[in-house]
Structure 1
Amino acid sequence: MNQQWLWAVPVSCAALLMTACQERPASKTEQAAAATQEKSEAIPLIQAKVVPVKLSKPEACDAEGCTQYEIQTVNSNLKWIDDYFMDRVKKADPIAFSSAPNEKINTAEGASPDLSQSSTYIRFVSQQYDRATFAIQTYTYSSGAAHGMYHQEFVNFDLKNKKRLALQDIVVKGAEQQLLNALYDSNSLWLDQHSVERSKLQLSDNFYYGANGIVFVYPLYELASYAEGMTELTLPYSSLTKLIKAEYLPSLPKYPNS
């Protein structure tokens, strides 16, 4: 009996030591904190600067005249975004990247060739956690025109899924007409002043996340005169809770019922 008792002592001690060495399960608070940290580390904080693009033909000429090109893009810490914009500018102005020689210009003797201008500037606008907004600003002037034309296109990215967000990606399925009605109602005073009827207003796929709501941007002349510039209509976030998918809306404060 004494020998059996002595044999059981080291086994019991070993069991106690193993129990003491087992890792304590993480609390729910610690698990949530770890999950939040892991999630935040997965979404990079964008760092971007504007850089000039080296062009094969900064001045391209055909039989009608010449066009001077200037293109600036972004250099960021996200290569897939940089590649997206480089693909865009190359498709928009392929002649500026062409290695083919310029054509001979048909001009009267002693006359200067017609000279047009085309410029593109891309810049980083803002980031809201897993959504980022950039802007493509373009300006074109055709020789002899009364004035140039400019445009600003906002490009929104889903950083988590590494894709560009179109309006159809963020709107709740089947809510397009409700969204359009809400947009008109929120801007009815300005639209009435510019004689824009409800039936004439369309949703714009050119949009960005503003401080107080989603801003829909319209081209020159579509809703107002050239002098008034591109029109921006804002729809407050508070009106979008049932119209925009929750994952594409910023977190809103909840106020107590009065």
Structure 2
Amino acid sequence: MKIRMNQQWLWALPFSFAALVMTGCQERPAPQAELAATTKQEKAESIPLIQAKVVPVKLSKPEACEAEGCMQYDIQTVETNVKWIDDYFIDRVKKADPIAFSTAPNQKINTAEGANPNLSQSSTYIRFVSQQYDQATFAIQTYIYSAGAAHGMYHQEFVNFDLKNKKRLALQDILVKGAEQQVLDTLYDSNSLWLDQHSIERDKLKLSDNFYFGANGIVFVYPLYELASYAEGMTELTLPYVALTKLVKAEYLPSLPKYPSL
């Protein structure tokens, strides 16, 4: 009877050992820090690294004519690895110059016999400027020359995208709520020498909704004639990042060095 009991114990031993091995092989839950690191890595991988090249846009009417004369169009956009960005710019140029995409026939030009018809020009060029992690900046450059004018008019508009949320960033999107006046005052103080030289008083300066993220701060861009003469071109006023830490939402500020206090 004693020998039989020992045999039963010996038969049970392999099963107990197998259960122990299986328990040891079960996948243990990942530590919280490891899960957080994995989630952060997945989010980083979802942010595309912009690759862009400038390509011509195929137009139905590269030269559109009406009774008063003709307009020549030259439109070039960006082709990137992000479809919704490409679609955004194609939609912009189609809305800006619908005649260039129209299939309606050109009108007959009314000109005196032997006279050359009025010929105007319109150019639109879109290019990639820079990327800071989940923010990408593009520029739309336009030039219009109307026949008979002393000179053409040009403009440069900067378009900033939030790549994580797939949207264009307006100025109110990046500013802390209620910070507009403080931003304006700080912008004036940071550029007071140039503004004084151009006789621009504090209450005459407005925040521009045309801006981009520069190397040293947010750059506000103003159209021709608004703050300076045509010869001086479009005005750019820089607001240093170090002055924006409490005025711009943290997610839209670049990582800055910690400078020693003087």
TM-score scaled to structure 1, two decimals?
Answer: 0.95
Task: Tell me the CA shift for residue 104 of structure 1.
Answer: 1.0
Q: What residue ranges of structure 1 are gaps of 5+ in the alignment? A: none
Runs of 4+ in 1 over 6 A off after TM superposition: none
Shift of 1:28: 5.6
Among candidates 154, 170, 175, match of residue 174 of structure 2: 170
Match of 1:225 among 204, 229, 252: 229
SS of equivalent to 1:150: strand
Tell me which amino acid in the other structure corresponds to 1:162: K
Shift of 1:81: 0.4
Q: 1:147 to 1:257 in 2, by over 3 A?
A: closer
What is the aligned partner in structure 1 of residue 145 from structure 2?
Answer: 141
Greater mean alpha carbon deviation, residues 2-11 or residues 220-229: 2-11
State the Cα distance separating 1:8 from its structure 2 match.
3.8
Equivalent residue, structure 2, for 1:23:
27
Structure 1 window deviating more from structure 2 (31-40 vs 137-146): it is 31-40
- CA drift of 1:37 comes to 2.3
| Counterpart pick for 1:193 among 193, 197, 214 | 197
- CA drift at 1:251: 1.2
Of 28-37 and 7-16, the range deviating more from structure 2: 28-37
Out of 213, 216, 220, the position equivalent to 1:209 is 213
Structure 1: distance between partners of 2:259 and 2:76: 44
Alignment-derived partner of residue 44 in structure 1 = 48
Is residue 2:39 matched to residue 1:35? yes
Q: Please tell me the residue identity of whatever aligns with 2:17.
A: C
Match for residue 90 of structure 2?
A: 86
- Residue identity matched to 2:101: F
* Aligned match of 2:119: 115
Q: Secondary structure at the match of 1:112?
A: coil
C-alpha displacement of 1:257? 5.2
Equivalence map 1:3-14=2 (5 Å): 3-14=7-18
- Which residue of structure 1 aligns with residue 187 of structure 2? 183
Match of 1:104 in 2: 108
Q: Distance in 2 between matches of 1:193 and 1:15?
A: 85
Q: Shift of residue 254 of structure 1?
A: 2.5
Distance of aligned partners of 1:10 and 1:256 in 2 relative to their CA distance in 1, 3 Å threshold: farther
Residue in 1 aligned with 2:132? 128
CA-to-aligned-CA distance 1:75-126 (integer Å, 9 cap, x gap): 1101100000000000000000001111111110110101000000000000
Give 5+ residue unaligned stretches, structure 2: none
Q: What number of residue pairs does the alignment pair up?
A: 258
Whether 1:55 and 2:65 are equivalent positions in the alignment is no
Q: How far does the alpha carbon of each residue in 1:41-92 deviate from its partner, in whole angstroms, 9 at most, with x for none? A: 1001000100001111111111111110000000110110000000000000
Q: CA deviation at 1:16?
A: 1.9
CA-based RMSD of the aligned residues comes to 1.5
Q: CA separation in 1, counterparts of 2:252 and 2:62?
A: 40
Letter paired with 1:121 = Y
Provide the C-alpha distance between the structure 1 equivalents of 2:39 and 2:259, rounded to a whole number of angstroms: 27
Larger Rg: 2
SS where residue 125 of structure 1 aligns?
A: strand
The AA in structure 1 aligned to 2:204 is K
